[in-house]
Homo-oligomer: A and B are copies of this chain.
Amino acid sequence: MSKKCIGIDIGGTTVKLGIFEEDGTLMEKWEIPTRKENGGEKILGDIAEALNEKLTEKQISQEEVIGVGMGLPGPVLPDGYVEVCVNLGWKDMNPEKELSALLGGMKVRSGNDANVAALGEMWQGGGKGFQDIVMVTLGTGVGGGVILDGKIIAGRHGLGGEIGHIHVRDGEAEYCNCGGQGCLEQIASATGIAREARRAMAASDKPSVLRRFGDQVTAKDVLDAAKAGDEMAAEVTETAARYLGLALSHVALTVDPECFVIGGGVSKAGTFLTDLVDRYYKYYSPISENKGTISLAKLGNDAGIYGAAKLILD
């Protein structure tokens, strides 16, 4: 009988779990709430319970399971140690060891969620067939994951793939969460695109369909309006695409991947967005036409469980 592997993606609101075949086929996925109270002390116990129940229900024995991979919303040291994980309330613990103990010694591995999602997209998503990919997730923030030779480049201090905090624009007055001014995340995240749209509306009297949304304008409103030909929305979209393309050129000239995979809510704009990004990416790295291509992510919110499961196979 073929072996199974488990992928778990722990977020601030829900924990996603998936049971996979070794070949990457998702057999079953489900979610449980993330109980963050009391320093998140119940999270791992809840996961162990949910997992044991499901394995029993599916008549999968412990021996059939190769192990469990976890994506965590924060930095993870190479030995699995977590200094602090703000979104879960965790401090100074080793969730790999703790979950393994709760699962009767099962093999457990963990990684940062953005890196793990990149691994998932490499395994079964937009980067399938490649070994060197860089994923950029355009969501509330901008996350990144660098995979070289099939392995996550977490970095020596957990900063590997922190592409959202690459400085791309001078003169920004507001501060990013990281303390910087002019980070990619401030311009190309969903939050950033919405802010740029509010600024564009405030800066002129130019008519735009965006005005009907006022301060409630979202990145989706902007991208939809840009697609429909709205000039102001097109400019805001172009700004985001320009700085994303610039950051991708930096990354290409550092690690030169086979492929960039663009995911997250903003990437739902599809090739309309990535074609624009590609134009600026090429403009900022004219040194060679022979370089990593830009693709869309394919796994959506499941990238994390795919990548977590892949962690345990490596």
Contact = CB atoms under 8 A, between A and B. Distances in A.
Nearest to A154: B256
Given A162-B287, A179-B287, A287-B165, A157 B254 contact: no
A159 B258 contact: no
A150 interface: no
Interface residues of A, number: 41
B255 A285 contact: no
Given A156-B132, A288-B157, A255 B253 contact: no
Interface stretch (A12-20, A22-30, A61-69, A243-251): A243-251
B167 A284 contact: yes
Given A180-B286, A287-B178, A250 B254 contact: yes
A154 B155 CA distance: 18
A193 interface: no
Contacts of A160: 254-256
A255 B162 contact: no
A146 interface: yes
B146 A254 contact: yes
Contacts of A132: 155-156
Given A284-B167, A287-B179, A159 B252 contact: yes
Nearest to A179: B286
A291 B157 contact: yes
A76 interface: no
A290 interface: yes
Interface string A247-280: 1011111111110000000000000000000000
A161 B159 CA distance: 18
A158 interface: yes
A300 interface: no
A299 interface: no
Contacts of A85: none
A271 B251 CA distance: 27
Nearest to A160: B256
A201 interface: no
Nearest to A153: B255
A253 B162 CA distance: 5
Contacts of A148: 148, 153
A116 interface: no
Nearest to A170: B170
Interface in A112-171: 132, 144, 146, 148, 153-163, 165-167
Contact of A288 (B159, B161, B290): B159
Given A254-B255, A284-B180, A286-B178, A159 B249 contact: no
Contact of A158 (B255, B256, B292): B256
A310 to B, nearest CB: 19
Nearest to A284: B167
A254 B178 contact: no
Of all A-B residue pairs in the complex, the 4 with the closest CB atoms, nearest first, are A155-B256, A179-B286, A178-B287, A159-B256
